[in-house]
Amino acid sequence: MTGKLMAKKILVIEDDKDIADLVKLVLETTQDFQVETELDPIVAYDRARSYRPDAILLDLSMPKMDGWAVFKMIRGDASFSDIPIAILTAKSQQFDQMVGLHIMNADAYITKPFGKQELIDRTYELFTKGKK
């Protein structure tokens, strides 16, 4: 991808401000991504509706509302049916990944801690994979 193309809009839903800022910083180094962050899972769905991202990176372990609840709200909205969602979590067990990818049907599963290049590559993959 080149900087001449319109940047893909990414919404990062992550309650840890340091991690949210790091993800934004890393992804925006590519010039192919325009990143917004949302720290509060309660307003994340409304933020997604107003921002209209091309993809969402979603943390699972958040206070007030579980990431899976946010995932279900977004997936339950037909206007988001073609927007890929990547899980961004510290839950690295194979069982957790299987649930995320094969039961909940997330488009990607990125475990923390992640490397800079891994995060960039996995985010690009959201746009190159065939739709399920």
Residue 95 has pLDDT above 80, yes or no: no
pLDDT of residue 21: 97
pTM: 0.89
pLDDT band of residue 5 (cuts 50, 70, 90) is: low
DSSP letter at 29 equals: T
Q: Which strands, in side-by-side order, build the sheet including 33-38?
A: 33-38, 8-13, 55-58, 85-89, 108-111
Contact 69, 43 (CB under 8 A): no
DSSP 69-90: HHHHHHHTSGGGTTS-EEEEES
Q: Which CATH class is domain 8-127?
A: alpha beta
Lowest mean pLDDT among 7-16, 88-97, 118-127: 88-97
- At residue 98, the pLDDT reads 83
- What are the residue boundaries of the structural domains of the chain, listed by start? 8-127
